Amino acid sequence: MSSLTITLIQPNLFWEDKKANLEMLQKKIESISEKTEVVILPEMFSTGFSMKPEMFAETMDGNTVQWMKKNSAERKIIITGSLIIEDEENYFNRLVWVLPNGETGYYDKRHLFAFGDEHSHYKAGNKKLIASVKGWKINLQICYDLRFPVWTRQSPGKSETQYDLLINVANWPEKRSTAWKTLLQARAIENQCYVAGVNRVGEDGNKIYYNGESMIIDPLGEIIYIKNKEEDIFTYTLQKEKVNEVRKQFPFQEDADSFIISE
Enumerate the active-site residues. Answer: 43, 109, 143
Is the Cβ–Cβ distance between 77 and 41 less than 8 Å? no
Task: Please report, for residues 128, 169, 192, the alpha-carbon distance to residue 144 in angstroms, rounded to integers and kept in the order given.
Answer: 14, 9, 21
- Secondary structure class of 147 (helix, strand, coil): helix
Of 133, 171, 126, 169, give the one whose Cα is nearest residue 151: 126
Q: Are 209 and 20 within 8 A, CB to CB?
A: no
Torsion-angle region of residue 205: left (phi > 0), alpha (psi -120 to 50) or beta?
alpha
5 phi/psi in degrees, rounded to 5 = -100, 125
